[in-house]
Each structure stands twice: as C-alpha cells, then as structure tokens.
Amino acid sequence: MKYILVTGGVISGIGKGIIASSVGTILKSCGLHVTAIKIDPYINIDAGTFSPYEHGEVFVLDDGGEVDLDLGNYERFLDIRLTRDNNLTTGKIYQSVINKERRGDYLGKTVQVVPHITDAIQEWVMKQAQVPVDDDDIEPQVCVIELGGTVGDIESMPFIEAFRQFQFKVKRENFCNIHVSLIPQIMCRCTTALENSVKEKISMFCHVEPQQVICVHDVSSIYRVPLLLEDQGVVSYLSRRLNMPIETRPRKMLTKWKEMSDRSDRLLEHCSIALVGKYTKFSDSYASVIKALEHSALAISHKLEVKYIDSANLEPSTLQEDPVKYHEAWQKLCSSDGILVPGGFGVRGTEGKIHAINWARKQKKPFLGVCLGMQLAVCEFARNVLGWTDANSTEFDPETKHPVVIDMPEHNPGQMGGTMRLGKRRTIFKTTNSTLRKLYGDAEYVDERHRHRFEVNPELKSHFDEKGFRFVGQDVEGERMEVIELDDHPYFVGVQYHPEFTSRPIKPSPPYLGLLLAAAGKLQSYLQKGCRLSPRDTYSDRSGSSTPDSEISELKLPSLSNE
C-alpha cells in the first residue's frame, strides 16, 4: 500500500480537498486502484449535527455515514463509493480508545496521547486503506489521506505526530507528504503560475528539490487541476518516489477530463436555475447540489447560472418588512428557466418555498424538489388543489388536521445524531410511463442515498392520485413515497432521496439532468431519442457514443489495463 498525506499551511480552505482528489484522479487514470480518507480534527463524532453554515453541507454515503463534504469531492473525482470510516475525526478516535480502556484492553496501563491515540490513528488508516471502493471489489493500491485544518493547529497535533511515526512504520518508499501552502500574490496555491526563481527559493527554504515544488495556480475549472498536476510531472515523480509500476502511455481517463474541461470553457448557451433555500448565503451548504447541476449543464452543453434565493424573502411578511428584498427575490424566481427546492430542516422559510413551488406548478416551470422540497410540493398541492388549506408537515405544525407529511416511526426525537433514515435505499418504480424512470434508462428500480426524519403520509395517497399528482416511486415495501410526478406539466418532479450525492462529472444525476433538459427546452426531444444526447453534447467525438452513461463505462479500470 502506498500512502500520500495531503496537509495544508497558512490558512484553512487553501484547496487541500481538490489537490487530494486531483492526485487520486491522475493516479487512477494510470490504472491504479485509489482510495481516500479525510481526517477532521474536530471532536464531533461525525458531521451529522453541523449547521450548514458551520462546515458546509453534510454529505451522505451509501452506508448512511454523515461526513465532511470533501468526501463528496473524492467520490465525484474518482468515481468511487466510500464508507463512514473513510472520515476520521478526533471524536471517533477518542471514543474508540476510551471504549478499549473501559473493556480493559490496555491491561491497567495509563492511557495517553502517545502512544495510544497515535497508534489508534495509524491502525485506523491502515485498516480503512484496504477496504475496496471500486465496483470490482479489488483492494486499493494507493490511499490519499487529507488532514483537515492547518499544520500548527493544537487539535491536529496528535495526527501530525501519528504520521511522523507512520512514515517509519510503512517505510519511506510507501509514504510521501504533499503540503499545500499559500503564495501571497494570495504543492503552492496562487493566482498565476510561479516563475522558476520563486520555485527555487521555495525549494531551498523548504529543503525539497525544485521538481517537488508544484504550482497550482487559479484555473477556469476545478476539472483542470488534475491536468495541471499531470503537466508538472506529478505522476512521474510519485512513480519514482513511491516505486509504483505506472505506464507512461496516454491515458483515456485524462483525455476525457481534458475534453470535459475544454467544453466547459467553450459553452455559449445559458441556463438559469433558481435555488430556493434557507442557507443561500453560504454556497458550500449546497455543494453537492451545485455540482450535480453543473454536471448536468455540462452534459447538455449549457453554461449554468444558479440564482440563490433565500426562501424567506418570497414570503408576504418580507413584502411588509423589506419590499425591495421581496421584489428582488420574486424577480429572480420568475426570470429563471427552472426551479430547485433542495433539502433542509426547520420551519424558517418553508412558506416561501411553498410559494415558489406553487408558482412553478401553475406557470408550468420546470421544477425539482429534493427531500424537504418534495415534501413541500405535497403540502402545496394539498392546500391549493385538494383544498386542505391547513395541510402541512407535522415537523412544522404538529396539530394540523391534514398531516400530509409525518414523523417516521423509527425517528427518536430525543437523540439528534444518526437517528434519521440514512444511506442507500431502493426505490421501485410503480409505472412504466414515468419521466424519471425513462431518465434512469427505464430502470425498474434505483438505489439512492437518503437523509430524512419525515415522510409523506401514505394513508392520503389516493387523494393525490385522483388529481394527477402521482407517487410513481415507492420503497420496497410500498409504504414510503419516494418519487412524485405531476400530470400535464413539462417537468414537475420530487424525490425523497438525495440524488446529488451520486452525481459524477461524466455521469450526471438523472433527476438533475431532467431539470436542466426541461429548463433548456430539450427534455422531450431527449426522451423521444430514447434518452440519447446529440453528438455535440457527448464527451468524445471519436467514441461513437452519445450518452453520458456509456461514456463513463469507458473509464472503468479493467478496460484501461487490458488495452
């Protein structure tokens, strides 16, 4: 096993996650099996109880792990499936060590940071590095480890000490460190490429060779970062430094990335999506949602414009308190090509989201509701079509006479962390003429990731069906409503799951792709062609393929190694 540790200096948020993902991408393009681990030095057990304003979105994995959003970057760049143990926190380590101490595993010894905490960190990394993350279930050959925060933080010191010891345990030829730092003009992050004289100066003062100083300057798209590292010889250096058997021939996977990056710079047509939420002041709150929209826009050769709208600003109360803010929000909404209401928690802004959904339904504007967005679409329809004016979720109005969204039986209201319906669950399509089913390639079922405490009340389903509001997807038992579609509407779709978590740059999420296609006026022609994109919308003019799905199949490692 080869270990590559990515650390950061000077400031947090310097770009360690993108560097770690990019290094993994170029190594995977060489035919190697690559896994990734993110270390967060905070004391929380996981990211499940964070406010989105604290650390950005909570990313959900197949096994229900609620983790740091950087794991989303790893999955998207490397097209892998990680587990909750790929996110290591101080809380998890201390909990593990304390549990061992309580069981008597340390035989009465004094339990200390060194060696017990540092040993536990090393053991965790070595064990998790061996877990397969690709569809072929082959054990990884390379593990990229990102240490969150900055070197010098008190909370990260046990991890720094653990890896100081680790380099000797696994031997020099199996371990290297990439340190991402800042060059104030503001591996080295800067706005423009470094001159050789600057590289040589950094080399001298940091005690590394000039070829080990890699400049990662600002680029037009994050998808260019792997190409930037490749151009500066990172693969050939790592191959020598870690004694890895890497072929030097051209790599198809990176060719795809270059085509994708070039296309993203050439886009001429625009498509605007209104994102109606409550955390719109901090875009990382919806990181995976934005990426899923970008993937879909790129697939249909459109430049994406996301219009962030604080849902509270759409409510009548804002008209009284701040008329300018109210009218600006509605102008953004009405001028958008499509509307997205993402997941969320809490009552603030929910009425504004319902107003946005009402407008999308009546104006036949393409709409996608995710998790809470789907639940609120049910509430809106119940109020304004079924005539249940007090219809609501029991999350927001426990006393409503029409509880169209209810608390799930397994939810424990006294415990917040890890008590939701989490992780990969199966959704069965109940009809063959569903638009979303067609977008999924006419699949009978899909496996997508969930994160919710409330669900649509199944006892009221028949009232909606009679009015053309269809629950076209349900769980395996047929008890939970998973997908909604509205008759006589170009695209009005709601999903209980979070499809953004499995979207990939060259394989966009079908619900998001449907939204972008409808917003661009291309959905019907796409469906009529059997869900095939036009030649100019594919990722390679030479592949003979015309769908994102078939393009991704060309990235599988076995085909790379067998050519």
pLDDT in tens, 9-21: 877 777 888 999 9
**For 435-489, how does the pLDDT look when each residue is reduced to its tens digit (9 = 90+)?**
999 999 999 999 999 998 888 998 888 899 989 999 999 998 888 899 999 999 9
Are 55 and 171 within one domain? yes
Residue 198 forms part of a structural domain: no
- 59: closest CA among 76, 41, 71? 71
Asked which of 72-76, 239-243, 366-370, 557-561 is least confident by mean pLDDT, the reply is: 557-561
Residue 540 forms part of a structural domain: no
Say how many Å lie between the first and final Cα of the chain, rounded. Answer: 25
**For 195-207, how does the pLDDT look when each residue is reduced to its tens digit (9 = 90+)?**
777 777 777 777 7
**Local structure of residue 543 (DSSP, 8 states):** S
Q: How far apart are CA 482 and CA 476, in angstroms?
A: 10
Are 170 and 283 within one domain? no
- Domain final residue pick, 182, 211, 237: 182
Are 281 and 168 within one domain? no
What is the tally of structural domains in the chain?
2
Residue 226 forms part of a structural domain: no
Burial of residue 96 (CB within 10 Å: 0-12, 13-18, 19+) is middle
pLDDT at residue 250 greater than cutoff 80: no
Q: Which residues are catalytic?
A: 371, 498, 500
Are 174 and 272 within one domain? no
- Domain final residue pick, 137, 152, 182: 182
- 2: closest CA among 136, 144, 165? 144
Helix (H, G, I), strand (E, B) or coil at 459: helix
Are 298 and 446 within one domain? yes
Instruction: Find the domain containing 467 and state its range.
Output: 267-529
Residue 171 forms part of a structural domain: yes
Query: What confidence category does residue 554 fall into, taking pLDDT thresholds of 50, 70 and 90?
Result: very low
Are 145 and 281 within one domain? no
Q: How far apart are CA 62 and CA 59, in angstroms?
A: 10
- Domain final residue pick, 182, 207, 234: 182
pTM: 0.82
> Is the model more confident about 171 or about 255?
171
CATH of residue 365's domain is 3.40.50.880
Contacts of 474 (CB under 8 A, 6+ apart): 427, 428, 430, 480, 481, 482, 483
Residue 546 forms part of a structural domain: no
Are 149 and 291 within one domain? no
pLDDT at residue 335 greater than cutoff 90: yes
> What are the C-alpha distances in Å from 329 to residues 27, 326, 347, 356, 379?
45, 5, 19, 10, 22
Residue 380 forms part of a structural domain: yes
Are 178 and 297 within one domain? no
Residue 541 forms part of a structural domain: no
pLDDT at residue 556 greater than cutoff 60: no
Written as one letter, the residue type at 9 is G
When the pLDDT of each residue in the chain is averaged and rounded to a whole number, the result is 86
pLDDT at 212 (0 to 100): 83
Q: What percent of the chain has pLDDT over 90?
A: 57
CATH of residue 101's domain is 3.40.50.300
pLDDT at residue 429 greater than cutoff 90: yes
Q: How far apart are CA 109 and CA 140, in angstroms?
A: 35
pLDDT at 183 (0 to 100): 65
Q: What share of the chain is helix, strand, coil (3-state, %, to 5)?
A: 45, 20, 35
Written as one letter, the residue type at 494 is G
pLDDT at 552 (0 to 100): 33
Are 7 and 140 within one domain? yes
Quote the tokens at residue 1.
Answer: 């096993």
pLDDT at 124 (0 to 100): 97
